[in-house]
Amino acid sequence: MRLLILDRDGVINHDSPDFIKSPREWIPIPGSMQAIAEANQIGFRVVVVSNQSGISRGLFDINELNKIHSAMLGEVARFGGSIDALFFCPHGPSDGCNCRKPMPGLLLDLAQRIDVDWPSTFVIGDRRSDMLLADAVGAQKILVKTGHGEETIESTTDLSDTIVCDDLANAVDKLSIL
């Protein structure tokens, strides 16, 4: 089974400059729940890897983050899909940790838990940090235009080794023929 690593905010759900702080604020991007279910159906294990600096900023706590993730898992299950694991960095941008994307700490932790074939793994994100994370482990990159994707496209000089898609649903459609 192949592995699909997804960023959360801006890829699965709408992002917010004020952070997603509660399940009420977690709003799926249209088609994303179905896309995760489709990814499972075509043979992908799905893992979410996300920076959640709102914890270190005191905007929400781990219990609230767990409620947000429970809501997400419930919605995915409602569409017949599943997310195998959720990895997140609770640190702020200046904390100097190895787990905040684009640092590979979360993916290295994942690789200690399951056997990962990085060249056949896809990382889907909307930010440069997601693409750099993929580069750090040798995974394939998919940049979606949702969330911060359009800004990322405008500010990136070379996307020749990156698949660019409109959204998660479009990305999974492309994966079904790869």
Annotated domain spans of the chain: 2-175
Q: What is the pLDDT of residues 65-117, one digit of tens each?
A: 999 999 999 999 999 999 999 999 999 999 999 999 999 999 999 999 999 99
pLDDT at 1 (0 to 100): 75
pLDDT at 157 (0 to 100): 87
> By the 8 A CB rule, do 174 and 36 touch?
no
Is 7 a known active-site residue?
yes
Three-class SS of residue 173? Answer: helix
CB environment 1-38: b (16+ within 10 A), e (fewer) = eebbbbbbbbbbbbbeeebbbebeebebbebbbbbbbb
Confidence of residue 159 (pLDDT cuts 50, 70, 90): very high
pLDDT at 131 (0 to 100): 98
Is 15 a known active-site residue?
no
CATH topology of domain 2-175: Rossmann fold (3.40.50)
> How confident is the model over 1-18, as a mean pLDDT?
96
pLDDT at 178 (0 to 100): 81
pLDDT over 90 percentage in the chain = 97
Q: pTM of the predicted model, to two decimals?
A: 0.97
> How confident is the model over 117-124, as a mean pLDDT?
97
Given 7, 15, 126, 167, the catalytic residue: 7
pLDDT at 132 over 80: yes
Given 9, 15, 130, 167, the catalytic residue: 9
pLDDT at 66 (0 to 100): 98
Confidence of residue 123 (pLDDT cuts 50, 70, 90): very high
